[in-house]
Amino acid sequence: MTHLTKIVVLVISLLLGLTVSQSTTYPCPFYRSLSLASPVVSGDDVIILQGLLARSVPDLPISGIFDEFTEVCLMKYQSMYNIAITGILDVNTANSILLTNGDDGYTDNGQIPPGFKYKVHVPVYRNRSIETTATLYDDQLNVLHSFTVRTEGQLNTDGSAMNQFCGDGATPTGLMTFDLNSAEPDPAAFGPYPVNRAVQGIAGNAFLLISNVRDGILMHTGQWTGWNPSMPMPNSHGCVHGHPEDIDTVWNILTSNLNVYVRNNTFGALPYLYQPQGVLSIELID
């Protein structure tokens, strides 16, 4: 649009009491303008917006409802980053907040919270195409297995990687409970072995997302067509992908050495029926 056309559209929109719709250009997970409105706007996108805003304005509660205080915080954010102070999450503000506040700053503390039998630690790079080495620890923090993982999600239509706030994007960083579930019914997509399921976020972006916004985040393998272990693994829809040999080793160690039970697969049903037996800790290292 030319400058003049934009002004004309804006004026017409204002006259009609409408906001300019640019839904196709919002960066995932955002897809619409968010603002104080009547009736109030609510949804997962508001939860994520509030979670990200709270990194600049820490007393903002994450209610999932765009209320007056959310508007105030959004204006404060826009003022901090020299964006037009509108109190509206437009495309520009959405791009900005993902960039400036998307990192959770979560770091693994080298511990395992009490009551859990195992921890899987996964360092990740901003560029999720780079596969990394995950480590399986017991509750005394002994290293039981190290293995290659891939945490890249689906790609946007422009070829860029979907971020961790998108439904099919990269595996979220942070700390979350983790539990061994029986194998998924589709071995081609998930492998023939029991899988580990991310159950509930405890810290970082995982706290914001799992399982109220994103679920079905598993650690699994697959019988990937044309793939062999010398190759990078395929991208997932948010899961942690591992080589077949490693995913087989992990569940065998868990059940044989650590008395971890294989829970009947819940297929993401909430509330989760069992006490999670492990934790998954994913941290950004660049």
Ligand X SMILES: *[C@@H]1O[C@H](CO)[C@@H](O)[C@H](O)[C@H]1NC(C)=O
Q: Which is nearer to ligand X, 12 or 270 (CB)?
A: 270
Rounded least distance, CB 165 to ligand X, Å: 19
Beta bridge partner(s), residue 179? 197
By CB under 6 A, is residue 40 in contact with ligand X? no
In the block, which residue shows the tokens 């492990």?
A: 278
Output the CA–CA distances (angstroms, integers) from residue 28 to 124, 205, 246, 277, in the order listed: 20, 15, 32, 32
The binder of ligand X chosen from 13, 23, 109, 264 (CB under 6 A): 264
Q: Which is nearer to ligand X, 88 or 233 (CB)?
A: 233
Q: What value, to the nearest 5°, has the Cα angle with vertex 79 and ends 106 and 172?
A: 25
Rounded least distance, CB 261 to ligand X, Å: 8
Which H helix or E strand runs over 68?
helix 68-80
* DSSP string computed for 171-236: PPPEEEEEEEEPPPS-HHHH-SS-EEEEEEEEEHHHHHHBTTTB---EEE----TT--TTSPPPP-
By CB under 6 A, is residue 160 in contact with ligand X? no
Rounded least distance, CB 269 to ligand X, Å: 13
By CB under 6 A, is residue 133 in contact with ligand X? no
Q: In the window 112-131, what residues touch ligand X (CB under 6 A)?
A: 127, 129-130
Rounded least distance, CB 285 to ligand X, Å: 14
# binding residues, ligand X (CB under 6 A): 4
Rounded least distance, CB 127 to ligand X, Å: 4
Give residues with Cβ within 8 angstroms of 234, minimum separation 6: 150, 222, 224, 227, 241
Q: Which is nearer to ligand X, 107 or 132 (CB)?
A: 132
Which stretches of the chain bind ligand X, using CB under 6 A? 127, 129-130, 264
